[in-house]
Chain A
Amino acid sequence: MTVFRGFLMITKRNIHMMFLYIVIFLAIALAVQKTTKDTSSSFQPESLNITVIDRDKGELARGLTAYLEQFHTLVDIPDDISILQDRMFYRDIYYVVTIPESFEERCLYGEELLPVTKVPGSNSGFYVDQQIDTFLNDVRILTESGFSLTDAIEDVIENGDDMPEVTLLDKNGHGGDSPDHAFMFQYMPYILISIFCYALTYIMIAFRNPDVKRRMMCSAVPVQSQNLQLVLGYILVGIFVWGICTSMPFMIYGKSFLADPNMPFYLLNSFLMTLVSLSLAFLSGTLIRREELVSAVVNVLSLGMSFLCGVFVDLDILNKGVRTAAQFLPVYWYETVNGLLANNVSFSHSQQISLLAGYGLQLLFAAVFIGVGLVISRNRQAV
Chain B
Amino acid sequence: MASNDFICIENLVKRYHDLVALDHLNLSIQEGEVFGLLGPNGSGKTTAINCLLALLKYDKGSISIFGQEMHPDSYDIKKDIGVVMQNVAVFEQMSVRENIDYFCGLYIRDKAARRRLVDEAIEFTGLEDFTKMRPKKLSGGLLRRLNIACGIVHKPRLIIMDEPTVAVDPQSRNKILEGILELNRQGSTIIYTSHYMEEVEQICSRIAIIDHGRVLATGTTEELKQMIKTGDSITIEGILLSPEILAAIRGLPHVFDLTYEEQVLKIRLGTAKHNLVRVLNFLQEHDITFGRVFSELPTLNDVFLEITGKELRD
Chain A residues within 8 Å of B, Cβ to Cβ: 2-3, 5-6, 9-10, 13, 202, 206, 209, 211-212, 214-223
Contact = CB atoms under 8 A, between A and B. Distances in A.
Given A212-B91, A215-B103, A215-B150, A220 B75 contact: yes
A17 to B, nearest CB: 12
A5 B105 contact: yes
Given A6-B94, A9-B98, A13-B93, A211 B78 contact: no
B89 A9 contact: no
B107 A220 contact: yes
B85 A215 contact: yes
A209 B85 CA distance: 13
B83 A9 contact: no
A219 B89 CA distance: 13
Nearest to B94: A9
B151 interface: yes
B173 interface: no
Nearest to B134: A13
Nearest to A221: B106
15 contacts: A9-B93, A9-B94, A9-B98, A10-B94, A206-B91, A209-B89, A211-B85, A212-B90, A214-B55, A214-B85, A215-B83, A218-B53, A219-B106, A221-B75, A221-B106
A144 B22 CA distance: 106
A211 B88 contact: yes
Q: Is the interface of A mostly helix, strand, loop or mixed?
A: helix
- Please tell me the size bucket of the interface on B: 20 to 34
B229 interface: no
B106 A220 contact: yes
A206 B93 contact: yes
Contacts of A5: 102, 105
Nearest to B91: A206
B87 interface: yes
A3 B106 CA distance: 8
Contact of B89 (A10, A202, A211): A211
B91 A6 contact: yes
Given A2-B106, A217-B55, A10 B83 contact: no
B73 interface: yes
B154 to A, nearest CB: 8
A220 B88 CA distance: 20
B152 to A, nearest CB: 12
B75 A10 contact: no
B90 A219 contact: no
A5 B89 CA distance: 18
A215 to B, nearest CB: 4
B81 interface: yes
With a 10 A CB-CB cut-off, give which of B89, B90, B107, B150 has the most chain A CB atoms: B89
B106 A216 contact: yes
A184 to B, nearest CB: 31
B92 interface: yes
A4 to B, nearest CB: 10
Contacts of B91: 6, 10, 206, 209, 212
Nearest to A203: B93
Interface string B185-210: 00000000000000000000000000
B199 to A, nearest CB: 21
Contacts of B87: 211
B212 interface: no
A163 to B, nearest CB: 64
Contacts of A223: 72
Given A214-B83, A218-B78, A220-B107, 20 more contacts: A2-B102, A2-B105, A2-B106, A3-B106, A5-B102, A6-B91, A9-B98, A10-B91, A206-B91, A206-B93, A211-B85, A211-B89, A214-B85, A215-B83, A217-B53, A218-B55, A220-B78, A220-B79, A222-B73, A222-B75
